[in-house]
Structure 1
Amino acid sequence: MDKFHSIRNLLAATGLAALIALPAMAQDNGANAGATAPTPQSIAMELFAGANTALRSDDYESARRMLEAALDLKPGHPAILRGLYRVAQQAERPDDALDVLERMAAAGLSYDTADEAGWLAVTDSQRFAAINQQLAANLAPAGQAERAARIDRPDALIEGVAIDIETDRIFLSSVAGREILMLEPFAPNEPVVFADREDGLWSVFGIAVDDRSRMVWAASGVVPQTPLAADEETGTALFAFDMTTGDLYRRYEIEGAERLGDFVVRDGMVYVADAGAPRIYVLNSLSGQLELLVEDPRFVSLQGLALAHGALYAADYAMGIWRIDLGDHSVSLVRPGDESLIGIDGFLNTREGRLIAVRNGVSPHQLMAIDLDAAGHAVANVDVLLRGHRDMTDDTEPTLVDLADGRGWLVANAAWPLFPEDGSAPDEPRPATIILQFRLP
């Protein structure tokens, strides 16, 4: 969902200064502004600042220790790992540098070592070669998918996809067009408008089809890329549309919400993440009202939600995956394995309880299947389902995903980097949006 995608490349910055200058929506969306109690985010930021100070004083060991402490709080964060590499580089500690590169490789990340060959290869040529082999493998294409649709509306900025398995209709959310588009199975490349600003929509982010209620659900709000009329009233809401008639059934709002973004629907209930505040809401029925489910200052940038193992799981773009107990509403960070869980955007669960995650804030972009342990508190295994597809281009990013009947549909190339926040025209043409279809293993 809206993370101010156009500046996500800061996540890949190698300088320590960039570590404490991550974009507002990608790293600190204001949810913790004014918080008095320390959070993992605020402590990590202090550690980043301390590491910068230590590095400027050539106190490499202190910088290393502070970054390691930050990494404990934000496991697998690529910018912290790159910061550790920079410390090792400036301290002329090749063994430390090789250790960091090994951790990057194990995390499924990429790093160009071309400029480091002389220094590190001399230290341990076999170890350096093995690292390069793994880093190359992390970039290699994986998985298979075919085009389900090509939408030649380059100015729409399509973010989300939802499938109605009964009719094979595909619904798409448009950020810049402020509309929901629909594709018929007999015309997959010819979208028609299902709902738009005349229905009260601002930018549309998360979207879902509920087979039980036969509703099309959509979360809507305002970002810098939202085209607004002069003096137009802004806000955020969850919308329910009758799938058959296209009529607006109801609009759900809740006081204090900043930006309703991604959500998950099950058995007539909707769980909604607030992309601008550390809150998750719940709608218990079509006739009900949005209610606060949980508020936690440790949330930084909430994205997709999933239901598995009797709990609600929330992807946090800057932290990983949170587990919310649906009984006592307690919140805990899922313990990751080696693979980095930073930068997850689209996020859903299969019927079997696997978590399907779209990672786009970290190189390489990829679609992953995450298996949790029996208790649902830790990652047991991660499989890469799709990476390096020809439609997942470097100047775009995959965003949201939908699952049904053993298959998945993915927005492969949302053009967020080509939609400057100031409304200016990009230097490069915006591509048609591609929806990929894949089989779940």
Structure 2
Amino acid sequence: MRQFFLSAALAAGLAVPALAQDDAPVVTQQTVSMELFGLANQALQAGDFEAAKRALEAVRDLKPGHPAVLNGLVTVARRAEHPEDALTALEAMDAAGLTYDLTRVEAWLSEADPDRFAAVRAALAANGEPVGRAERAAVIDRPGALIEGVAVDIETDRIFLSSVAEREILLLEPFAPNDPIVFADREDGLWSVFGIAVDDRTRMVWAASGVVPQTPMEDGEAEGTALFAFDLMTGDLYRRYEIDGAVRMADFVVRDGMVYVADAGAPRIYVLNSISGELELLVEDPRFVSLQGLALTRGALYAADYSTGLWRIDLGDRSVSLVRPGDASLIGIDGLLNTRDGRIVAVRNGAAPHQMMAIDLDREGREVESTEVLLRGHADMTGGTEPTLVDLADGRAWLVANAAWPLFPEDGSVPESERPYTVILEMDLP
């Protein structure tokens, strides 16, 4: 495994990163990538543009479709005055489904190769064009809530929302979709609430809770993280599930009473085999960097990692492998779920453009066969906000369209900027 990750650096003719020596505790895709980024930056500062390019190309082999890598290649090409390299990197952005601000390179590339630049400019612009139709299911005037997740009880048409900054689960009744009431709060032991789901089998509302800088804490209050189960109809707390070593449970997926939970603060995924059981460690893998949403399909568990892409966990032998993305960028995915027919629906907010897309895997479930943009450029997916989590049921999707994360300071202070109403969008899936 170590040799696999080092091969990118060696093939590029670069010095072996320090973390690759024998005394290194772990060598992963992420550690090697960060070392190579450092080498690229050093070479760029020294004016060795060829070495900077080789280092970034080695990172691209480890992290295909990563916007920061492709942006770096454009920067190096611009500094080196190599328009051919810049156009190649921009064409790779187009193939990955990304957009790019061409302001700094437009005049230069237009003069160097007007026809090729015109083609890539049009392609990048098309990547940002609106796609899909969605209607407002709810508009919530709770600017201080920082709503992250959505879950729908298809039997009653009730919608549940998770609040990060007010430490609540909110309930929207079908006869009053814009008037949330508190379903559960800190009196039930909740910290910030992230992922949320309704399980038809157990008739429970599940919620993952933990602490981030935006979590309002009382003096002397202990931090923690847990998975909570609430009675769907009464709101009574059934049970909270904790496990030693957990840092921040955030996203999860529920199926037939079983729950798989990602730890956003540690490279771990947990499993709860039954509502009467205990959380257990499913896998711990140092290659995980920033775990996000989970999906169950093709007999495996799939985990989105914000920094590295999509991982496949075999539920038999618990082996972990990175899904081969093809040309598409799987970087910056937050929400993740699967449809009944096996498609993975992903919400991307860590790369431009923000969008909800469907991912179709090959027969073995180890490689992306194709992707389809489902929703992009909606009027409510703007304004310095970001789409986050999604729920799926009966061929429809409900999306938190404009979570205000960018408007809440990371130091936990009260936001000074005006925050918009939170919009839940509903759309039919193709």
TM-score range with shorter-chain normalisation?
Answer: over 0.9
**1:383-411 Cα deviation digits (max 9, x unpaired):** 00000000001410000000000000000
- The number of aligned residues is 408
Identity %: 73
Are residues 1:112 and 2:107 paired? no
Q: 1:173 aligns with which of 142, 162, 175?
A: 162
Q: 2:118 aligns with which of 112, 115, 129?
A: 129
- SS in structure 2 opposite 1:149? strand
Rounded to whole Å, the distance in 2 between the matches of 1:425 and 1:138 is: 35
1:187 matched residue in structure 2: 176
Q: How does 1:287-306 map to 2 (within 5 A)?
A: 287-306=276-295
**1:232-268 Cα deviation digits (max 9, x unpaired):** 0110000000101110001000000000010000011
- SS in structure 1 opposite 2:326? coil
Give 1:269 shift: 0.3
Give 1:427 shift: 4.1
- SS in structure 1 opposite 2:265? coil
Q: How does 1:366-385 map to 2 (within 5 A)?
A: 366-385=355-374
Q: Does the CA contact (< 8 Å) of 1:94 and 1:120 recur in 2?
A: yes
RMSD: 1.1
Are residues 1:143 and 2:132 paired? yes
Rounded to whole Å, the distance in 2 between the matches of 1:229 and 1:426 is: 19
Are residues 1:76 and 2:65 paired? yes
Q: TM-score normalised to the size of structure 1? A: 0.91
Counterpart of 1:121 in structure 2: which amino acid? S
**1:166-196 Cα deviation digits (max 9, x unpaired):** 0000000000010100000010001010000
- SS in structure 2 opposite 1:114? coil
**1:312-370 Cα deviation digits (max 9, x unpaired):** 00000000000000011111100002121100000000001100000001111000000
Rounded to whole Å, the distance in 2 between the matches of 1:271 and 1:187 is: 32
1:26 matched residue in structure 2: none
Q: Does the CA contact (< 8 Å) of 2:294 and 2:301 recur in 1?
A: yes
Larger RCO (CA under 8 A, 6+ residues apart): 1
1:101 matched residue in structure 2: 90
- 5+ long unaligned stretches in structure 1: 1-33
Counterpart of 1:41 in structure 2: which amino acid? Q
Rounded to whole Å, the distance in 2 between the matches of 1:227 and 1:72 is: 41
1:208 matched residue in structure 2: 197
Q: Does the CA contact (< 8 Å) of 1:159 and 1:172 recur in 2?
A: yes
Q: Does the CA contact (< 8 Å) of 1:304 and 1:348 recur in 2?
A: yes
Q: Does the CA contact (< 8 Å) of 1:35 and 1:297 recur in 2?
A: no
Counterpart of 2:199 in structure 1: which amino acid? D
**1:259-293 Cα deviation digits (max 9, x unpaired):** 00100000110000000000000000001000000
**1:71-111 Cα deviation digits (max 9, x unpaired):** 11111110111001111111111100100010111111111
Q: Does the CA contact (< 8 Å) of 1:158 and 1:414 recur in 2?
A: yes
Q: TM-score normalised to the size of structure 2? A: 0.94
Rounded to whole Å, the distance in 2 between the matches of 1:427 and 1:202 is: 23
Q: Does the CA contact (< 8 Å) of 1:54 and 1:63 recur in 2?
A: yes
Are residues 1:317 and 2:273 paired? no
Are residues 1:163 and 2:145 paired? no
Give 1:123 shift: 2.0
Q: 1:362 aligns with which of 337, 351, 360?
A: 351
Counterpart of 1:186 in structure 2: which amino acid? F
2:74 matched residue in structure 1: 85
Rounded to whole Å, the distance in 2 between the matches of 1:35 and 1:247 is: 49
Are residues 1:329 and 2:305 paired? no
Counterpart of 1:98 in structure 2: which amino acid? L
Q: Does the CA contact (< 8 Å) of 2:385 and 2:404 recur in 1?
A: yes
Counterpart of 1:312 in structure 2: which amino acid? L
Counterpart of 2:282 in structure 1: which amino acid? L
- SS in structure 2 opposite 1:241? strand
1:252 matched residue in structure 2: 241
Rounded to whole Å, the distance in 2 between the matches of 1:254 and 1:424 is: 30
Rounded to whole Å, the distance in 2 between the matches of 1:116 and 1:281 is: 46
Counterpart of 2:393 in structure 1: which amino acid? A
Rounded to whole Å, the distance in 1 between the matches of 2:284 and 2:101 is: 40
Rounded to whole Å, the distance in 1 between the matches of 2:179 and 2:409 is: 27
